[in-house]
Structure 1
């Protein structure tokens, strides 16, 4: 029945004079394809990842990740505290600690010209006010320019999709070195192709 409805609708749209032809592949499919082709290596600076965060609370952990991005030149040093403040403002709107030991702190800020991200792991756990009340062990921080809202959302969607996969989270949590984190991300990138 549904298949018949699609044929009828398409043929009606195509045969109506003065009406544009209906594109049989909606933009949602194109968007999904773009997200699947997006690679972690496109936005995560592998030199900034940390397998051993020292911070035990939300703001300090965010500050530690931003410091790593400053060290590799992705965030200007004179913008460090302002970027931390912007992410903390975003946290006040609602926690990005999504549960199951995962948080995705993110914000838009003009200090960056492209979307950048980093990952921090904490074996002790970070008090992050997560939705499930548990400690956070995987922090995936993301900063985008203010004029790239759609791209920011697409990357958040990719991150969220992978963080919902138990295997991905387990491999990240088992990483003991920055190199092992990078390897997990590269493996995921290669598997997505």
Structure 2
């Protein structure tokens, strides 16, 4: 099924106004309610559900796009509406400390069991932002609803029925490089609130990962693993070697190599990914295509993008 098949000219707001992200959401729901009887009938419930979801985590995904959404019990339609924001509104990007100006708002309203459909539509617009910046700019510059829908239709964006790795991966986690210093990696883990980062070479080929564990292990005396009693280690400066070398030592010799790490390709089904996480006890799985790093799936992605979308 094509993405364009979900879009209708009467549900495209060409001049969505608002001073805040919340105002944009309210005005877009109101706009749809004026066109769709079922939305109008449950307007208050829908507005509360969408704003509640937005308060939990921002649906701004960067590149000028926000995708507010809600699943409503007993709502037997699947509505996708788009609002073009002529005067961009600043909002926090989901899962980051970054800000972005919303220029395109995609609102999705569905039944509680339609999370797969929501995820597929969200994934499709995310791919437009990441892989087709020319199309994204054309959408933002569209002057009529029919023009906007035609642009999406001509892009031939197909939505299949399986949730796969490419639908839930986080592609925007910047990888580390073997020549990065311990200090550089430690700062990134702190500032980006991550527990690990992918490691790639200069061409983007996946090499492995560097995590908090390797940094901590570097600072421990090499003989610790063979000792039974560590009481004597309370004497002296803890992590002395790390503190002396953090600015000059690189991660080249300490990152975990790819042969030790579970990876999948972008078409791996969601249930296979969940099986690996649960049964192998891993917290993140890297998505690799032809040896190249494409993104990472964390347990939190399963929660946010599938179970609690």
TM over 0.5: same fold? yes
Does structure 1 retain, via aligned residues, the 8 Å contact 2:19–2:89?
yes
Task: Note the residue ranges of structure 1 that are not aligned, 5 or more in a row.
Answer: 1-37
State the match for 2:42 in structure 1.
Answer: 79
Higher helix share: 1
State the match for 1:96 in structure 2.
Answer: 59
> Which 4+ stretches in 1 moved above 3 angstroms?
none
| Alpha-carbon spacing, 1:111–1:181, altered in 2? closer, same or farther (3 Å) | farther
Does structure 1 retain, via aligned residues, the 8 Å contact 2:63–2:129?
no
User: Does residue 157 of the first structure (1) align with residue 113 of the second (2)?
Assistant: no
Compare 42-51 and 87-96 and name the one that shifted more.
42-51
SS in 2 for 1:76: helix
Give the deviation of 1:74 after TM superposition.
5.8
The count of residues paired between Structure 1 and Structure 2 equals 155
Give the deviation of 1:192 after TM superposition.
5.3
Give the deviation of 1:103 after TM superposition.
0.7
User: Does residue 55 of the first structure (1) align with residue 18 of the second (2)?
Assistant: yes
Q: Which has the higher contact order (CA 8 A, sep 6+)?
A: 1
Using the alignment, how far apart are the partners of 1:86 and 1:156 within structure 2? Answer: 18
State the match for 1:172 in structure 2.
Answer: 139
Residues 121-153 of structure 1: CA distance to partner in whole angstroms, max 9, x if unpaired?
112102333353121001111111002222222
Higher strand share: 2
Aligned counterpart in structure 2 of residue 116 of structure 1, from 79, 87, 101 = 79
State the match for 1:183 in structure 2.
Answer: 150
Does structure 2 retain, via aligned residues, the 8 Å contact 1:51–1:181?
no
Does structure 1 retain, via aligned residues, the 8 Å contact 2:79–2:110?
yes
SS in 1 for 2:32: helix
User: Does residue 136 of the first structure (1) align with residue 99 of the second (2)?
Assistant: no
Does structure 1 retain, via aligned residues, the 8 Å contact 2:129–2:136?
yes
- Asked which structure has the greater CA Rg, the reply is 2
